[in-house]
Structure 1
Amino acid sequence: MATQILGILFCVSAAAAAAGTKVYSFNSQNSTSVSSLNAKDGICKSVVEPLGYACQEHTVTTKDGYILSLQRMPSGLSGQAADKPPVLLQHGLIVDGVTWLMSLPDESLAFILADNGYDVWISNGRGTRFSRGHASIDPYDSVLLSLYIFLHYVTLNLFFFNNRTFYLVSWQAYWDWTWDELAAYDLPATFQYVHDQTGQNLHYVGHSQGTLIALAAFSQGKLLNMLRSAVLLCPVAYLNHLTSPFARGVVDLFVPEDLYWLGQHEFSLRGPVVNKLLEDICIMPGIDCSDLLTAITGPNCCLNSSRTKIFLDQSTATKNIIHLAQMVRTGTIAMYDYGNENDNMDHYGQPTPLVYNMTSIPNDLPLFLGYGGKDYLSDVRDVQVLLDNLKDHDGDKLVVQYTDEYAHADFILGVNANQIVYDPAIAFFKIN
């Protein structure tokens, strides 16, 4: 059976690499210069410094060995040093820290905060192009070659005796995580690093998955001793009412489980293996894969399309997509379900995954929640479930902002987000 599975995956990979596979695009417009970013250049050199802003590259290593990239903008365009507290910006799923910098300086939250005197820190989660390091695991990312090596040496019974094939084992181990680990390791590591570097408690801004991992951590009492306030844009805690036809197709067809079963541990919308399997989704009624951004996030009202081509252009773990799919199917916010009582007992000491209790979030924690009426991923009904869990929150510590015309990407790429979202968020910072 294992050889058959490997053979199937190898054939799928080879077919996907051939010219016959269509790579679906996010739009047909030209992208900005950030589309040519190279990991070795870094965000500071490529994006921030050319616009006249000071920028520093930092790294932090998590307790489980992942080496994460952080950028610090310690001053605004004027060069005046920050005189306000640090703000940590945490991106969402299948994107990286560049999303906070993709628009013009007066439209991008990172630049706006720096110009308003805040000490800005930009996080890049594990697996994204600037955070591919690990203390002991090689994040081998040449998937097609890995599959060839795996198939070849399994056949020859030499897999564990050849140094080259070690890379595939390492590659799979590197991608063995979900957002549980982001909440348990990545976020605490970045919080602690910013706190240690600045000597101050920080404000936090998360988008999408960046809100999920924060809510999970807050519900467990983590990070609170280093936190001033949290701005959660497109908050994700519950996904039962997910309306994205594309995401629903991925969940309903069990695409992430199939990929994981076939050995595809890295998930990228532009990866050949994923792209091939997604063809089944893209022929479903109501899904237009010529514009994946809309199909996934909703009809964003206010984007400059020339800046969206590289949005959703990073990788995550296939296991992470499985975890999110479990949330969609169950309607709960719980840890990863290993699929059987024995494995769950090994990990959690009980036959079912532990649940993150949103009612455990302290009532006096300053929270700003911004969500939109057209969002396919952070659906208004799911946000309401979260708000119901926060019903006892102190009235003067909870700000809820609803923007009817906004979808998922508008909150970080909208040309008018500076007035609609960022100005109120900054005002929120000033009183907390």
Structure 2
Amino acid sequence: MFCLLLTCVLVAAASAGRSPHADYVEEYLKAKGAGRYSDNIIEDALLDIPELVAKYGYPFEAHSVTTTDAYILEVHRIPHGRDQNNTPNPNKPVAFLMHGLYSSSADFIVLGPGSALAYLLAEAGFDVWLGNARGNYYSRRHQTLNPDGGRRDLDFWRFSWDEIGNLDLPVVIDYVIATTGQPKLHYIGHSQGGTTFLVLNSLNPEYNEKFHSFQALAPAAFFIYNEDPSYRILAPLEAVLEDTLFALGVVEILGNREFFTWFSVNFCVDGVTADFCNEILYRGDPEFYNTTMTPLLLGHAPAGASILQMIHYGQSINSKKFRRFNYLPIKNIEVYGRPTPPDYDLNRVTVPTYLHYGYADLQADYRDINYLGDMLPNVAGRIPVPRESFNHLDFIWGIDAKAQLYDKLIEIMFSYH
């Protein structure tokens, strides 16, 4: 039965784009057994985002944008709804969504029509754009460097979320504005997507005028109160010199798909280790995590990141400051004109900001988010999610995210129009 089901799905998707971990999902289903999952879930796990959106009858566009340092980024667009507000309209308000660490535009799509934020925004009447940071599955291109080129092309991976906010976002935002003709847009950023927005506007304050609002979903900036045990592993990475890691060829995090497949198939199928894997995957209230969607989520995440993004967060955890990347003192002087990196000037972030947070979020502690709010000059709202067990991944994967968060989010955004 499994072979017949999987074969049918593979035939249907044979000419379609493949998700980041399609090969892994096939191995996972063989080991786990596909009978417990619907054919829709399996198919969705194997399709990439362009094909997945098209499958559900939504208009879709993929745009390529090149940064000033030659990275080629893929930006996704759902210009209008399928069931409502389903005709082209040049006057639609624009919503730009930015994913978190290790992630991609898939974060806002995989829950499907009626549940995923990108679809809900499109149905509500927004022109929806979704960014993909350099180095993830959809933005692994460069004009001269090959991300898989070995030691000769390691420079592809010499970036942290500083470059994503300072170099990726400006050209993408300008492209969206030029394409839509709308002078302002709403920015929705989850986790690192919030980090990069703060980087953008603190280093390029002229961009504040290009946004109606900043909807910050569990923004990751300060780690003063955070008590997550996993951060004790992340924090020491600051002491690991960039040059040492690059000399060892350790440049990409969660990009080794062969290891990811091997580990998951052998340790995430059954028994105690499977429970551990589910805890890593979700780390929340199981009542609000639909386990039947596990293949779908694992098909699209993680999407890859540079080791320097992790190191930069490690620096933030250790310093308890929100500041630029810390190189060796000599290089800091070369880059910043001083031996230590400067703080991001949050007084320059003047966009009306709405801070959305969950009390059970271990990655972005609500106390740290409120601390961030005290540093920002124009906080229009501090909005806790009503469900007390709402955690970091519930913002994108929680089965009740629409009722708990998205409906309120859309209401706030429409208040500007």
Question: What TM-score bracket applies, with the shorter chain setting the length?
Answer: 0.7 to 0.9
For residue 316 of structure 1, the aligned residue among 305, 309, 315 is 305
Structure 1 position 382 matched with structure 2 position 382: no
- Aligned mates of 1:413, 1:256 — CA distance in 2: 33
Distance 1:276 1:380, change over 3 A: farther
- AA aligned to 1:315 is G
For residue 148 of structure 2, the aligned residue among 118, 140, 152 is 140
> Deviation per CA, 1:268-299, whole angstroms, max 9, x where unpaired?
1755679999xxxx9xxxx9785456347632
- Aligned mates of 1:243, 1:189 — CA distance in 2: 36
- Aligned mates of 1:299, 1:112 — CA distance in 2: 24
- Aligned mates of 2:78, 2:277 — CA distance in 1: 32
> Deviation per CA, 1:230-275, whole angstroms, max 9, x where unpaired?
1110111112333333343243477975744522111117556799
For residue 337 of structure 1, the aligned residue among 298, 303, 326 is 326
Distance 1:195 1:275, change over 3 A: same
- Aligned mates of 1:375, 1:249 — CA distance in 2: 18
Distance 1:24 1:236, change over 3 A: farther
For residue 210 of structure 1, the aligned residue among 178, 184, 193 is 193
- Aligned mates of 1:359, 1:136 — CA distance in 2: 37
Residues 240 and 329, structure 1, Cα contact 8 Å, conserved in 2: no
> Deviation per CA, 1:365-400, whole angstroms, max 9, x where unpaired?
22121111111110122112112213x536xx3343
Structure 1 position 89 matched with structure 2 position 97: yes
Q: Secondary structure at the match of 2:402?
A: helix
Distance 1:108 1:256, change over 3 A: farther
Distance 1:68 1:294, change over 3 A: same
Structure 1 position 393 matched with structure 2 position 403: no
- Aligned mates of 1:123, 1:418 — CA distance in 2: 21
- Aligned mates of 1:294, 1:117 — CA distance in 2: 36
Distance 1:222 1:291, change over 3 A: farther
Q: Secondary structure at the match of 2:384?
A: strand
Correspondence list, 1:151-190, <5 A? 168-170=151-153, 172-190=154-172
- AA aligned to 2:75 is L
Q: Secondary structure at the match of 2:58?
A: coil
Q: Secondary structure at the match of 1:189?
A: helix
Q: What is the aligned partner in structure 1 of residue 338 from structure 2?
A: 350
Residues 256 and 318, structure 1, Cα contact 8 Å, conserved in 2: no
Correspondence list, 1:25-424, <5 A? 32-37=42-47, 43-44=49-50, 46-78=51-83, 79-82=86-89, 84-140=92-148, 146=150, 168-170=151-153, 172-200=154-182, 201-220=184-203, 221-252=205-236, 259-260=245-246, 262-268=248-254, 291-292=276-277, 294-295=279-280, 298-300=283-285, 302-307=288-293, 308-310=297-299, 312-338=301-327, 340-362=328-350, 365-390=351-376, 393=378, 397-403=380-386, 404-424=388-408
- Aligned mates of 2:117, 2:260 — CA distance in 1: 32
- AA aligned to 1:334 is R
TM value normalised by structure 1: 0.77
Give the deviation of 1:37 after TM superposition: 3.4
Q: Secondary structure at the match of 2:163?
A: helix
Residues 282 and 289, structure 2, Cα contact 8 Å, conserved in 1: no
Kindly, what percent of the aligned residue pairs are identical?
A: 29
Q: Secondary structure at the match of 1:245?
A: coil
Distance 1:48 1:296, change over 3 A: closer
- Aligned mates of 2:247, 2:223 — CA distance in 1: 24
Q: What is the aligned partner in structure 2 of residue 430 from structure 1?
A: 414
Give the deviation of 1:222 after TM superposition: 4.4
Give the deviation of 1:33 after TM superposition: 3.1
TM value normalised by structure 2: 0.79
Distance 1:333 1:310, change over 3 A: farther
RMSD between aligned residues: 3.1
Distance 1:122 1:59, change over 3 A: same
- Aligned mates of 1:49, 1:94 — CA distance in 2: 24
Residues 208 and 349, structure 2, Cα contact 8 Å, conserved in 1: no
Residues 369 and 399, structure 1, Cα contact 8 Å, conserved in 2: yes
Distance 1:341 1:243, change over 3 A: same
- Aligned mates of 2:355, 2:368 — CA distance in 1: 13
Structure 1 unaligned segments of length 5 or more: list them. Answer: 1-22, 147-167
Deviates further, 258-267 or 324-333: 258-267
Distance 1:347 1:215, change over 3 A: same
